[in-house]
Amino acid sequence: MNKYESVVIINPGVEENGMKELIQKFSNLINSDGKVENVNELGKKRLAYEIAKQKEGYYIVIDFEANPSLIAELERIYRITDNVMKFIVVRKD
């Protein structure tokens, strides 16, 4: 298994319960074929440029270990989740 870091920017209009549900959804997906090491909620931050007419976003950083095959599925779930504005998954060395 490889180590990865995922940064997800979520629409700031999502309520606290909705935010927790999204984090739990992503964590459960990762834990199905890997292991979440750390979830760091950075909170609302100003974006460098507007995304979908939003000037702020809620940042979440997830550190995890997973098989490479899981990354494609994780990115697919990020893409189809309405409240995810942007995301990136990078492999750590």
pLDDT of residue 10: 93
* pLDDT tier, 1 (very low <50, low <70, confident <90, very high otherwise): confident
- Give the residue among 7, 15, 75 at the shortest CA–CA distance from 42: 7
- Sequence-ordered list of residues with C-beta below 8 angstroms from that of 32, at least 6 positions apart, any chain: 70
**What residue numbers bound the domain in which 42 lies?**
2-92
Helix, strand, coil in percent for the chain, rounding step 5: 30, 55, 15
> Does the predicted model carry a pTM greater than 0.85?
yes
Q: What is the DSSP string of 7-28?
A: EEEE-TTS-HHHHHHHHHHHHH
Number of structural domains (the chain) is 1
pLDDT of residue 5: 95
Supply the DSSP symbol for 37: E
What CATH number is given to the structural domain containing 59? 3.30.70.60
Integer Cα distance of 16 and 2 in angstroms: 31
> In the predicted model, is pLDDT for residue 33 greater than 90?
no
